Amino acid sequence: MKAKKAQYSQRGPVPQDVIGAVEFELPALAPGQVRVAVLAAPINPSDVLTLTGEYGLLPPLPATGGNEGVGRVIECGEGVASPAVGSLVLLPVGCGTWTTHLDLPAKHLVELPHDVDPVQLSMLTVNPPTALLMLTEFVDLQPGDWVIQNAANSAVGGYLIQLAKLRGLNTINVVRRASAIEAVKESGAEHVVVDAEDLPKRVREATGGAHVKLAIDCVGGVSTENLARCLDEGGTLVNYGAMSGERCMISPRYFVFRDITLRGFWLSQWFKQATPQKRTEVFGHIAGLIAEGKLQARVQATYDLDHIKQAVQAAASGARDGKIIVEP
């Protein structure tokens, strides 16, 4: 049986130049494995950085693109009782999801509810737990507490707004362009401001002088310091990305005179450290919220594998209206 995947044999500065669709022959299904037809897989910034070689974890080459996604079981190998043919399953993280088919060990698959949008479920593994864990692992936040974040129109930003609201937390949402404000408000945010030198003043005006305990930064550059300037004395700033491509620029004055703590978060590290019980708890909670329609991300466009170069180019571009999804 013929299948197709988005493969790259080298990394390079222009991500769409290194990836392309290739056909391959599916082998006979091995005992204990199931054959999955991939339904949807997002293109995240980490996928783009993996193609350019700038990510913290790089698979050996040649590799298939894509880190997360969902699929439907179409065949079960010898000895497999579940998941059954027809089951919707979550693909194991890092398995190369931009492909029409994957043969996977049945025991590594998690079954998902049938009546939920597979596109929303395909984004379950990376961004929602990142948003959730940054709200739980660093500062003991109570209902009514304030959190500030930049790139608030990103998928992580949107999940964080929704999760914070469910916990009764207040968010201040910073974007880099006025054209993103409306969409962030539609995702439930009350306070949305454009990043600039006078950010603390405008945050004070918008919130009536909120005492901000936690700042969440995935931009880097001067944006890191702009967030730090909005924090209360003794506040914590968590960096989890560098969308600007610049190092975090922050004056020592915020450490010395304001006792600000600077931390980092990487989901891959959390995966290694968390107990199986904790992982099940986090993903069960997130899957439940997605199934109930309480947690979702905006989607800008979907592409098939024949248009993977256009898909990657779109995902690497700024000023999007949502995620780029591969539907192989």
Residue 267 makes contact with ligand NDP by CB under 6 A: yes
DSSP state of 179: G
In the annotation, is 303 catalytic?
Answer: no
Cα 322 off chain centre by = 12
Residue 319 makes contact with ligand NDP by CB under 6 A: yes
Nearer to ligand NDP, 68 or 80 (CB): 68
Cα 233 off chain centre by = 30
- List the 261-264 sheet strands across, edge first: 191-194, 170-175, 146-149, 212-217, 231-239, 261-264
Task: Report how many residues bind ligand NDP under the rule CB under 6 A.
Answer: 27
Residue 303 makes contact with ligand NDP by CB under 6 A: no
Give the closest residue to 95 by CA, choosing from 1, 5, 2: 5
Nearer to ligand NDP, 24 or 55 (CB): 55
Q: Is the backbone of residue 92 left (phi > 0), alpha (psi -120 to 50) or beta?
A: beta
Q: Which stretch binds ligand NDP (CB under 6 A): 6-14, 99-107, 151-159, 224-232?
A: 151-159
Cα 323 off chain centre by = 10
Q: Which tokens go with 320?
A: 């999007």
Nearer to ligand NDP, 243 or 282 (CB): 243
Residue 127 makes contact with ligand NDP by CB under 6 A: yes
Q: Which stretch binds ligand NDP (CB under 6 A): 14-22, 240-248, 280-288, 300-308?
A: 240-248
Give the closest residue to 131 by CA, choosing from 241, 49, 42, 274: 241
Nearer to ligand NDP, 74 or 183 (CB): 183
- Helix axis angle, 276-291 relative to 127-136, nearest 10°? 110
Residue 169 makes contact with ligand NDP by CB under 6 A: no
Residue 244 makes contact with ligand NDP by CB under 6 A: yes
Residue 180 makes contact with ligand NDP by CB under 6 A: yes
Q: How far is the CB of 206 from ligand NDP (least distance, A)?
A: 19
Q: Which of 8, 55, 254, 303 is catalytic?
A: 55
d(CA 259, CA 232) in angstroms, rounded, equals 9
Tally the C-alpha atoms within 13 A of residue 84's C-alpha that lie toward its C-beta.
2
Among 151, 193, 237, 238, the residue binding ligand NDP under the rule CB under 6 A is 151
Residue 155 makes contact with ligand NDP by CB under 6 A: yes
Nearer to ligand NDP, 131 or 305 (CB): 131
Site string for ligand NDP, 46-75 (x = CB under 6 A): x-----------------------------
Task: Evaluate the omega torsion of the peptide bond into residue 92 and state whether it is cis, within 30 degrees of 0.
Answer: no
Residue 35 makes contact with ligand NDP by CB under 6 A: no
Nearer to ligand NDP, 112 or 267 (CB): 267
Position with the least CB separation from ligand NDP: 241
DSSP 207-276: HTS--EEEEEESS-BHHHHHHHTTEEEEEEEEE---TTSS-B---THHHHTT--EEEE--HHHHHHHS-H
DSSP state of 61: S
Q: Which residues are catalytic?
A: 55
> Contact positions toward ligand NDP, by CB under 6 A?
44-46, 126-127, 130, 151, 153-156, 176-177, 180, 218-219, 240-241, 243-244, 265-267, 318-320, 323
